[in-house]
Amino acid sequence: MAKLQLLYGFHALTSRLRHHPHSIHTLYVAEERQDARFRDFMALVEQQGIHARLVPTERLERLTGTRRHQGVVAEVEAIQLAVDLDHLVEQHGSRLLLLALDGIQDPHNLGACLRVADALGVHAVIAPRDRAVSLSPTVSKVASGAAETIPYLTITNLARTLRELQDHGVWIVGTDDQASEPLTALSPQRALAWVLGAEGQGLRRLTRDTCDQLVSIPMLGAVESLNVSVAAGICLYETWRQRSMTS
């Protein structure tokens, strides 16, 4: 049997039930919950033919180590969203949209980035294996189901992978507070990969040097930097906005 991991929260488990129900090994639900949201969730569980075990809330807290499980916890098989970057380039052509994260180690940031990526049409999220947080129950809960739909690829060398994407015609755009070009200078009518670094630290030098273009997000207030998921949302939305005007 494949190694099991914990998944909890309504959004994450509803997505798993809809997309990969056969990966659910054991489902635990709080016996105290009887509200409308819980009943809707249980209707989906019944529809998928899955047996749920009614247990006290305290047991769910022991399983997850948190009170933020929302009364639904499952032991699931890890889902590998198989994807090949070469295939993505060929499949999506000039509409390809990737998000590369350089040095993001907070699971809440990764989960939020996956959620934004799903909302704005990203085909895959990329991160270096030795400088990235792995998919975890916390990431999946924050992602609200996006961890079940957006491929998350950890690679050995981010700069090398970006150069390989460039060889396939993908335009690499990084964010930098000191960049002279604003976000609106973007020309997204081509295969595109956004590269974002951690808040405060930004992109590593080698990653920055690999980018075809560096742009800055206008900052009009007293705050000097943005959370990476907020920055990702702004950059990806601007990409969608510009593409939608010419599609």
The pLDDT value recorded for residue 137 is: 86
What pLDDT is recorded for position 8? Answer: 92
Determine the pLDDT at residue 82: 60
Fold classification of 85-246 (topology level): Alpha/beta knot (3.40.1280)
Q: How many other C-beta atoms are found inside a 10 Å radius of the C-beta of residue 35? A: 10
Reported as type and span, the H/E element at residue 76 is: strand 72-77
Q: Which two tokens stand for residue 136?
A: 């975890």
Write the burial class of residue 61 (CB in 10 Å: 0-12 exposed, 13-18 middle, 19+ buried).
middle
Say what the pLDDT of residue 97 is: 97
DSSP 168: T
Q: For 68, which DSSP code? A: T
What is the C-alpha radius of gyration for the chain, rounded to an integer number of angstroms? 20
Q: Tell me, what's the pLDDT at 247?
A: 62
In the prediction, which pLDDT does 112 show?
Answer: 95
34: tokens are 């009887």
According to the model, what pLDDT value does residue 136 have? 85
pLDDT, averaged in runs of 10, over the chain (247 residues)? 81 88 93 92 94 94 91 87 81 94 92 96 93 84 87 92 95 93 89 90 91 92 85 96 85
CA proximity to 29, closest of 75, 63, 76, 71: 71
The domain covering 4-77 belongs, at the CATH homologous superfamily level, to Ribosomal protein L30/S12 (3.30.1330.30)
* Tokens standing for residue 205: 């030098």
CB 141 within 8 A of CB 135: no
pLDDT for the residue numbered 216: 93
Q: Alpha carbon 233 to chain centroid distance?
A: 11
**Positions of CATH 3.30.1330.30 in the chain:** 4-77
Distance CA 117, CA 111 (A): 10
* Residue 2 confidence (pLDDT): 58
